[in-house]
């Protein structure tokens, strides 16, 4: 019987059961060449880790390359024996490209399974139906791939040379997996899911690169150098990389991926006291024989022990850390000139404070206080906020800075009132570069800064990214905030941002803006608070509170929980026609009174009811906690009150909107309504009349005169403001 015609362009190995040897014929030389291939694959596979390890490019690459080499070099040493073992199993008569076909079938089938599972997860809530669909459709897909694969293999074998064919098949098999696992396409996922995808990406890249390199014969000019240098270079890379990981392992772990997973296992192997933190491979346990001492442990002031392994001992309790502020009054006119930079010695002294806390600021957009169970509402809308208030200070009389989003949010960034912030004249203004933002001030005292915005106004091109190391627009890029739901996207973005920041020893400031309580009101599964507009609004408030709970859980699970101060507040409220008008623009209690909780890591729990406070106080509070100068800020710091000084006074607070001004000197409130011809002044006693149903202007002329004098002198006296949103 005539022999079959050979495949065009494919060279046959001879003999069939034995790999061809290098020119010198030694198995040692063949092993050296395989180790050289493994080193090349390790160096290439380490590139994604290097790119993810921001600020540690070389250390990330070196550590990942060393760990990849530890995995690939043993494979290289036994590569040829494994190939001969495979041939002994399939026999002499096995199809010549069986291995390539199996790899291609496995890769394409897995890719199709992943796509199918993702589609079913996104569009099906019925688990039994989804499982049955996955089984039937998946089986059909695997069968279709099995039919197509032999034809693809034969086509590649007849049209391409052997190395190119194997490389192409490997890319076809593994390429879809790489695309499906890229973290770039994982926006909106949690930190654990992103870490899993990053590890899959690295693993696919390792397999694809190693498969391609092992299928290619080294050029004759490189054979001798590879035989001489492969083993020494492998030893140098592994030893040097592992030594360097002692200093830079945290950067590699924070980058995520396959190297990070391997490093985490190695760190856990060195965790002798079982406290979850090792002393080597990037671990920072300063006493691996004492489970009470590890990163993230509660620091005990005055005990002479560095409990949390941050290199310093707590010097004083929280109340002593935050003295009464001496904030300067705001400069009228809003010229926009940036305040002078602190001297280098001043900045260094502030940055050297050993007790600077992490600060997480969460803005609950459009959440009014009287619709939160934390403030006595009859429906359990805010259990997460209640739990946070139970471990911090709850401010009974907290007020927004104005009756619209612009007045409410801009001061958080600029540290000034809306009128005194340098901005353009647009309805949704752009923050001028001259503004000395809260994030810029914090960076000067050694903080790393991050922000997650859920509203389209909070954008880079509007100037809101000034001073932020990490600034995410992902929530409103993925979903329209006024037509859909952005809360889960915001939590995912905050999780990613916090994950990047928590590996850095510097204190961090993270601002997270949650938008969903803003009209329009959508329904959410498992949240039913009645029918009608207010019932749907309550469900939105509960949904936002659920996202807050996820953020608190994220931080509480991490090693930095014991150093984190929480500031959670509403931006403005929502009006349902209590005073004849829906929407925004008015300055009645339903729009102005918002929840506010400040929870230091070890601060006393308490209720502050003596005076009214303002959202304008949040920026100076953050600066005070961080030890930054308070010059040129509106409002006053609430840090002393959060430290336990519940009898501390507070100056009257101001709020502004279009042709509206309010002055609250608890329990009295002045509301000024301007028209083209005159001003109308209303006076309310909020303690006796919280719904503002009775105007006391004629009954209490002295109180009216006093508050009006405060209004004429205080912030917002000349502020007409923008049109309400």
pLDDT of 388 strictly over 80: yes
- Considering only CA atoms, which of 550, 552, 561 is closest in space to residue 602? 561
570 beta partners: 364
Task: Tell me the pLDDT band of 325, cut-offs 50, 70 and 90.
Answer: very low
357-478+505-649 CATH fold: Alkaline Phosphatase, subunit A (3.40.720)
Q: Which pLDDT value is given to residue 613?
A: 95
pLDDT of 573 strictly over 70: yes
In whole angstroms, give the CA distance from residue 465 to residue 458: 8
pLDDT of 713 strictly over 70: yes
Torsion 117-121-122-126 (CA) sign? positive
Element (H, E) at 569: strand 564-570
pLDDT in tens, 653-693: 998 887 889 999 999 999 998 876 788 899 999 999 999 88
- Considering only CA atoms, which of 310, 303, 415, 392 is closest in space to residue 356? 310
Q: Of 51-55, 301-305, 585-589, which gets the smallest average pLDDT?
A: 301-305
594 beta partners: 398
Comparison of pLDDT for 104 and 695, the residue scoring more: 695
Helices (H), ranges, 299-437? 318-321, 344-351, 383-389, 405-414
Comparison of pLDDT for 249 and 706, the residue scoring more: 706
Element (H, E) at 363: strand 358-364
Dump the DSSP string for 28-63: HHHHHHHHHHHHHHHHHHTHHHHHHSTT-HHHHHHH
Task: Tell me the pLDDT band of 350, cut-offs 50, 70 and 90.
Answer: very low
Query: For 393, phi and psi rounded to 5 degrees?
Result: -110, 130
pLDDT in tens, 76-133: 666 666 666 656 665 555 565 666 666 667 667 777 777 777 777 656 655 566 677 7
Question: Are 232 and 42 contacting, i.e. CB atoms less than 8 angstroms apart?
Answer: no
Q: Of 556-565, 572-581, 595-604, which gets the smallest average pLDDT?
A: 572-581
Contacts (Cβ under 8 Å, ≥6 apart) of 504: 448
pLDDT in tens, 451-506: 999 998 898 888 999 999 999 998 888 888 877 888 899 999 999 999 999 888 89
494 phi-psi bin (left φ>0, alpha ψ -120 to 50, beta other): alpha
Which residue in this structure is represented by tokens 């949650």? 514
Question: Are 177 and 200 contacting, i.e. CB atoms less than 8 angstroms apart?
Answer: yes
Domain boundaries of the chain, sorted by first residue: 27-262, 357-478+505-649
Task: Tell me the pLDDT band of 612, cut-offs 50, 70 and 90.
Answer: very high
- Considering only CA atoms, which of 454, 425, 423 is closest in space to residue 723? 425
Q: Of 116-120, 362-366, 370-374, 670-674, which gets the smallest average pLDDT?
A: 116-120
Q: What is the mean pLDDT of residues 219-224?
A: 70
pLDDT of 184 strictly over 50: no
Q: What is the mean pLDDT of residues 439-459?
A: 92
pLDDT of 371 strictly over 60: yes
Question: Are 644 and 593 contacting, i.e. CB atoms less than 8 angstroms apart?
Answer: no
Number of helices followed by number of strands (H, E) in the chain: 22, 15
């Amino acid at each position: 019987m005539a022999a079959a015609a050979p495949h065009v362009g494919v060279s046959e190995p001879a003999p069939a059961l034995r790999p061809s040897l290098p020119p010198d014929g030694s198995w040692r030389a063949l092993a050296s060449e395989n180790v050289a291939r493994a080193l090349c694959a390790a160096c290439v596979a380490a590139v994604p880790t290097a790119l993810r390890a921001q600020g540690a490019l070389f250390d990330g690459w070196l550590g990942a390359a060393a760990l990849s080499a530890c995995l690939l070099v043993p494979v290289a040493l036994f590569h040829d024996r494994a190939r001969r073992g495979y041939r002994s199993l399939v026999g002499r008569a096995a199809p010549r490209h069986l291995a390539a076909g199996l790899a291609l079938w496995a890769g394409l089938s897995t890719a199709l399974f992943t796509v199918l599972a993702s589609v079913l997860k996104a569009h099906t809530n019925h688990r039994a139906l989804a499982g049955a669909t996955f089984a039937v459709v998946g089986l059909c897909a695997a069968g279709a791939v099995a039919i197509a694969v032999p034809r693809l293999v034969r086509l590649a074998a007849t049209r391409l040379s052997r190395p190119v064919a194997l490389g192409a098949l490997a890319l076809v098999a593994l390429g879809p997996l790489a695309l499906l696992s890229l973290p770039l396409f994982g926006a909106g996922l949690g930190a654990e899911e992103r870490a899993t995808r990053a590890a899959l990406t690295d693993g696919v890249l390792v397999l694809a690169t190693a498969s391609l390199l092992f299928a290619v014969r080294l050029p004759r000019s490189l054979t001798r150098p590879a035989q001489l240098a492969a083993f020494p270079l492998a030893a140098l890379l592994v030893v040097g990389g592992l030594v360097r990981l002692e200093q830079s392992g945290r950067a590699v772990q924070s980058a995520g991926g396959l190297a990070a997973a391997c490093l985490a296992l190695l760190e856990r192997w060195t965790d002798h006291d079982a406290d979850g933190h090792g002393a080597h491979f990037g671990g920072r346990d300063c006493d691996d024989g004492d489970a009470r001492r590890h990163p993230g442990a509660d620091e005990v002031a005055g005990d002479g022990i560095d409990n949390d392994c941050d290199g310093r001992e707590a010097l004083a309790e929280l109340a002593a850390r935050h003295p009464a502020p001496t904030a300067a009054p705001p400069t009228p006119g809003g010229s926009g000139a940036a305040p002078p930079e602190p001297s280098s010695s001043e900045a260094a002294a502030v940055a050297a404070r050993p007790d600077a806390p992490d600060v997480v600021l969460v803005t609950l957009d459009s959440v009014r206080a009287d619709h939160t169970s934390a403030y006595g509402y009859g429906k359990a809308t805010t259990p997460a906020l209640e739990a946070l208030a139970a471990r911090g200070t709850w401010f009974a009389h907290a007020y927004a800075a104005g009756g619209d989003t612009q007045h409410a949010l801009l001061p958080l960034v600029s540290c000034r009132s809306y009128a005194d912030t340098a901005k353009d004249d647009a309805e949704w203004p752009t923050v001028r570069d001259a503004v000395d933002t809260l994030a810029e001030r914090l960076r000067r005292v050694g903080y790393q800064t991050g922000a997650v915005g859920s509203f389209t106004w909070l954008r880079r091109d509007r100037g809101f990214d000034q001073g932020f190391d990490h600034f995410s627009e992902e929530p409103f890029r993925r979903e329209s905030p006024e037509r859909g739901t952005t809360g889960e996207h915001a939590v995912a973005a905050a999780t990613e941002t916090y994950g990047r920041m928590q590996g850095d020893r510097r204190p961090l400031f993270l601002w997270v803006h949650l938008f969903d309580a803003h009209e329009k009101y959508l329904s959410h599964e498992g949240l039913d608070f009645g029918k009608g507009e207010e019932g749907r609004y309550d469900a939105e408030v509960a949904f936002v509170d659920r996202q807050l709970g996820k953020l608190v859980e994220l931080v509480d699970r991490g090693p930095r929980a014991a150093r984190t101060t929480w500031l959670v507040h509403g931006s403005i409220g929502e009006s349902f026609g209590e005073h004849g008008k829906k929407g925004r623009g008015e300055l009645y209690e339903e729009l102005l009174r918002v929840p506010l909780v400040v929870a230091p890591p070890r601060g006393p729990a308490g209720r502050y009811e003596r005076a009214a406070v303002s959202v304008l106080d949040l920026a100076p509070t953050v600066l005070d906690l961080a030890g930054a100068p308070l010059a040129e800020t509106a409002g006053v710091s609430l840090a002393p009150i959060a430290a336990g000084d519940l009898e501390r006074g507070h100056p009257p607070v101001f709020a502004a909107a279009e042709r509206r001004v309010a002055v609250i000197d608890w329990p009295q409130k002045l509301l000024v309504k301007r028209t083209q011809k005159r001003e109308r002044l209303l006076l309310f006693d909020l303690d006796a009349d919280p719904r503002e149903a009775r105007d006391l202007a004629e009954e209490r002329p002295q109180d009216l005169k006093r508050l009006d004098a405060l209004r004429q002198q205080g912030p917002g006296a000349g502020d007409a403001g923008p049109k309400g949103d």
